[in-house]
């Protein structure tokens, strides 16, 4: 593992072996999915990526056609 310290020390350290397990995304409720999509939409818009913003909101709108938040997000990104 490469270690760096703001005080100027750089070096390599050893540790016991470890593993990181990344599992599947948990099942999200419709409200949680809407919030995730709107957050992704905001990030895309702030990054100037209008295509991703539109795609994200369209996917949410198709998945949740009766969700007023999805409708509002689609109007914001269009």
- In the prediction, which pLDDT does 45 show? 87
- In the prediction, which pLDDT does 57 show? 84
Residue 32 is inside which H or E element, if any?
helix 30-46
CA pair distance 78, 40, nearest whole angstrom: 15
Residue 78 has pLDDT above 60, yes or no: no
DSSP 33-60: HHHHHHHHHHHHHHTT-HHHHHHHHHHH
Which residue's structure tokens are 């990104």? 77
Nearest to 18 by CA among 1, 31, 3: 1
Domain extent listing, the chain: 29-78
Residue range 10-69, pLDDT digits in tens: 666 677 888 888 888 889 888 888 888 888 888 888 889 989 888 888 888 888 888 877
């Amino acid at each position: 593992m490469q270690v760096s310290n703001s005080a100027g020390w750089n070096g390599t350290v050893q540790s016991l072996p470890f593993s990181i397990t990344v599992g599947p995304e948990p099942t999200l409720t419709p409200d949680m999915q809407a919030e995730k999509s709107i957050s992704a939409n905001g990030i895309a818009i702030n990054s100037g990526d209008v295509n991703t913003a539109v795609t994200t909101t369209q996917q949410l709108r198709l998945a949740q056609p009766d969700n007023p938040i999805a409708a509002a997000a689609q109007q914001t990104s269009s």
